[in-house]
Amino acid sequence: MNTDKLSVRLETVAKYVLKESKLADIGSDHAYLPSFLVKNGQISFGIAGEVAKGPFQSAEKNVLAEGLADRISVRMGDGLEVIQPGDVDCITIAGMGGSLIASILENGNEKLDSVKRLVLQPNINAIAIRSWLIENNWELVAEEIIEEDSKIYEILVAEKGDPLKPYCDIPLETGLLVGPFLLQGKEKAFKKKWSLEKKNWKRIYEQLESAAPSAETEEKKQELIKKISLIEGVLDNEDSEWT
């Protein structure tokens, strides 16, 4: 992967970035994404934000080597500290946990007034992002799920709007967990992800069955039964032993 050829994961993120936008890529690592987007004429200006010194220096080096220093600003800071209100109209955050992405957005919420679109790629716990979007009046407008190198990734795209609109025809609990748009498509990667999750939950349940009885253990077991039943319903598994 380099500034000319992105991974499938980052290519998918890139295609949802608004054309001719001013972009902030938070956790930019080598600045591959903003560099690729500038070189391909998709964005007019980019900010590559990094909190760690090593990736920050790597991003700076790559941007200078590509001759893009006049169009990409490499900045060191935590989350949205690297931008000021009005700096950008599109933000990408990729390759982190969903809870961390949600906390970055929450901590920098006052910086989002000028932002038209968020493109978010959590490695795990996408439910934390979907919940944050609803709580902060961002509408999920697209989702995509992909598999690359045996890992499954979800890409969430949000704009300001009606946060409950994508969930109007499905139970909110189900939509938050698996994604309202992903639920419609039920792609191969979607089925694989949730089949693996279900298998893992069953394994944990069996371990709890052998644990010493307690109120906490029983609560966890009931929570797992609920999640397993929900996913079996999503996957149209009719021979459930959990219902």
Domain 8-184: CATH superfamily, name plus number: Vaccinia Virus protein VP39 (3.40.50.150)
Q: What is the pLDDT of residue 5?
A: 85
H/E stretch holding 43 reads strand 43-50
Q: What is the pLDDT of residue 243?
A: 37
71: which 2 tokens? 């169009």
Sign (positive or negative) of CA dihedral 62, 68, 72, 73? positive
Question: Across-strand partners of 142?
Answer: 157
* Mean pLDDT value of segment 185-202: 96
Q: What is the pLDDT of residue 4?
A: 80
Q: What is the pLDDT of residue 236?
A: 77
Q: What is the pLDDT of residue 216?
A: 93
d(CA 180, CA 168): 9
How far lies 36's CA from each of 23, 81, 97, 138, 144, in Å? 12, 23, 24, 27, 20
Which pLDDT tens digit goes with each residue over 133-191?
A: 999 999 999 999 999 999 999 999 999 999 999 999 999 999 999 999 999 999 999 99
- What pTM, to 2 d.p., does this model score? 0.92
d(CA 40, CA 71): 13
8 Å CB contact between 189 and 143: no
Residue 240: pLDDT over 70 = no
Residue 225: pLDDT over 90 = yes
Query: Kindly report the CA angle at 141 between 99 and 163, in degrees rounded to 5?
Result: 65
Q: What is the pLDDT of residue 242?
A: 37
Q: Residue 223 phi/psi, 5° resolution?
A: -65, -40
Which pLDDT tens digit goes with each residue over 49-79?
A: 999 999 999 999 999 999 999 999 999 999 9
* Mean pLDDT value of segment 204-226: 94
Residue 37: pLDDT over 70 = yes
Q: What is the pLDDT of residue 241?
A: 44
Burial of 168 (0-12, 13-18, 19+ CB in 10 A): exposed
Domain map (residue ranges) of the chain = 8-184, 189-234
